[in-house]
Each structure stands twice: as structure tokens, then as C-alpha cells.
Amino acid sequence: MKNIEKPKLEKKESAEKPITAVCVVIENMEGKILLFKSLYQRTSGKTEAVGLPAGLVDTTDSGKSEDPEIAATRELLEETGLQTNGPLVLLYDGETPSGKRVVSYLCPKWQGEIKASEEGLVYWGEKEELTGESGGYPDYNKKVLQALQSINSKNETYS
């Protein structure tokens, strides 16, 4: 079982902005990550963009934002059919090119079977798909993958 160390995050200017969206990274034993291919145009402006399971942080009628970790757990289930089986680990907190603050989490333990949703397809893919032409936010995703690599270099195995 992998003992995940929390990454040391630098304080960023974006930390003052409200969290707009969240995404979840799941890596399997073969080093592939769970990818989501949207069937419609997302905020990246690309149709069929490849990305991580992600979504917006909901806001209540009173204007209070949903807890980002709860939003990430909800989006993972909605888009992939998978449930977290333990706490999420904060990977990266940064901004997309449009200036929206997005928080990325690592899900080291999960359960369930992968299934596509009405929003898109879910599959195990190569990390490079996130940073290539089909990637929705390649620059942001590079930073997420660097954080994942940093965690992986400090730990040995997944459960």
C-alpha cells in the first residue's frame, strides 16, 4: 500500500480566488491515468477534449461554495462511476489560462467499475494525452502531472 505524502504547495496568488472547479487524478498499477473525453464543448473551447474527471464547484442558493473535496468526489462518481475509498490528496492548486482557479486531487484508493456518462467517455490512457493537442488545458495539466510525479518519486507502490 502506498503511503502518500502531501506535497508542499507554494502559496499562490490564486489562493485568494474562489475555487471554481476541481479535477481528480487516478493512476493504475500500469502507470496509466483515468481520462475523460468530453462529447461536447467544455470550457477549454475544444470539442472532444481529453482531460481528467472534473467539474464545477457547486454554489448554494445562499452563495456558499461546496467543499472542493466533496465536489471532486461527486464529479468522479458522476463522470466515471467510481467512488473514492479513502481521503483525496491535494495535488495542485492553480489557474487555467482563463484565470479560473482549479484544485486537483489524487485519489489513491477507489472502488467501482468505470462507466461512461452522458457527458463523455472514460478510459485508461497515457499521461501525454493531457498535454498534447487533444488535451483541454495542457499547461495546467503539465503542472498536475509534475505534482503527481513528485509524489510518485517519494512512494513505492499503490494498493
Q: List the beta bridge partners of residue 24.
A: 105
User: Residue 137: CA atoms inside 13 Å, Cβ hemisphere, count?
Assistant: 26
Which residue in 89, 131, 136 sits closest to 110, CA to CA? Answer: 89
Extents of the domains making up the chain: 19-151
- Alpha helix (H) residue ranges in 65-137: 68-80, 128-131
Look at the chain and count its residues.
159
Q: What is the pLDDT of residues 7-50, one digit of tens each?
A: 444 444 455 788 899 999 999 999 999 999 887 655 555 567 88
DSSP 18: P
Report field, pTM of the whole predicted structure over 0.85: no
**SS3 label, residue 111:** strand
Q: What is the pLDDT of residues 53-89, one digit of tens each?
A: 999 999 888 888 899 999 999 999 999 999 999 999 9
Rounded Cα gap, residues 11 and 49, in angstroms: 30
Q: Which residue has the cell 464529479?
A: 75
Which residue in 82, 98, 88, 3 sits closest to 35, CA to CA? Answer: 82
Tell me which architecture the domain covering 19-151 has in CATH. Alpha-Beta Complex (3.90)
